[in-house]
Amino acid sequence: MNLRQSWRWFGPNDPVSLADVRQTGASGIVTALHQIPHGAVWPVEAIRARQAEIAATPQGETPLHWAVVESLTVSESIKTRTGTYKQHIDDYKQSLRNLSECGLKVVTYNFMPVNDWTRTNLNYPMTDGSKALYFNWFDLAVFDIHLLKRPNAADDYAPGVVAEAERRFGLYTAQECEQLADIIMFGIPGEAKQTIDGMRARLATYADIDADALRANLTDFLADVAPLADELGIKLAIHPDDPPFPILGLPRIMSRAEDYDYMLTKVPNKSNGVCFCTGSLGANPANDLPALVRRIGEKIHFVHLRNVRKDEHGNFYEADHLDGDVDMYAVMREVLAIQQRVAEPIPFRPDHGHQMLDDLHKTTNPGYSCIGRLRGLAELRGLELGITRAEGWH
């Protein structure tokens, strides 16, 4: 059995239309109701309306269906277990019921505090003329120490990083500093953007929350929602930290094999599982990705496939899908071996992609332009076909 080819779509305002997606070869849509505030209930009517929009197919054209929810966002109140977190958990459970009523069975989320995925450059130039997403520790330190002005931030960086950040800050214009801050706080396309003041306020709520406390909050949350997900037949899929290191003084708890062992053992419910992201996990040189796929096994409910290339400082850019530090052949082979043992196709999507060709002249969501992801999907599709034929998995 093959994997289910899917595509991230950010809704009606996404520059990549559903008509475009049909031409990629993907049939599963990965999306969310980004217009609904974090913590609020997703109404059945809104879910069905989005399903109908996705399923509306011109006669004779390839049908699409909503295959994966990404993301049913966990609110900051739940992550910190403060304020109205109990109501938010009740509302999260109601959203799960509503999604199940509409036939949606794979739900992705993350437990990253304050910021979602973090990069320092959204237009990193590649040697072939395309543009990639990039993470640089020196520029993160510029933001953290000199723009955010987090108390004692310099203590979290090596002296060489602090010195280079100070040098860069002295060279950057006010406009360049503002642009750097906007990039680091970019967040999810289609959702409200953060401000530096807002980030400072959110960081303050984590002043007394270390990795152990955040890990306990995650497992407490799962203990609340996983039994219902079991009952509904929903597969919960937690996305790893991106990048998989503590940043901005915040703990990271889904970055290494030990984190998955803890989470899956502490909450052994059938529904409790993983969104395996090769790019996020691949940014940490300590992670052996093929071994980690084997270790998690059938608990992998959804897969993001992308590649990264790191330098000696731990900075990384997002490479072509088959050309980076991640051994994509070995990862794909292990995922396909799991696929042969489970009853339903495991959805995957080509995660991120270079802005390239005609997309260089268009307004696109960073990492989510069409042509770069199309190239990635085509490469991954060919890799999958080669492995399945070689192994006799038909």
User: Has 317 been annotated as catalytic?
Assistant: no
What kind and span of H or E run contains 262? helix 257-266
Q: Exactly one of 88, 146, 304, 321 is catalytic; which is it?
A: 304
CB < 8 Å & 24+ apart, contacts of 220-226: 220/81, 221/74, 221/78, 221/89, 221/111, 222/263, 222/266, 222/267, 222/269, 222/272, 223/267, 224/89, 224/93, 225/89, 225/92, 225/93, 225/96, 226/267, 226/269, 226/271, 226/272
Nearest C-alpha neighbor of 274 from the set 231, 238, 225, 326: 238
Strand order in the sheet with 121-125: 121-125, 131-135, 316-319, 307-310
Beta-strand ranges (E) seen in 169-247 are 235-239
Active site residue 239: yes
Q: Which of 34, 88, 352, 354 is catalytic?
A: 352
Annotated catalytic residue within 34, 146, 239, 321: 239
Which residue out of 88, 351, 354, 370 is catalytically annotated? 351
- Look up 351 and say whether it is catalytic: yes
Tokens of 319: 């490479």
Question: Does residue 65 carry a catalytic annotation?
Answer: no
Catalytic residue among 146, 241, 275, 277: 277
Could you list the active site residues? 239, 277, 304, 351-352, 368
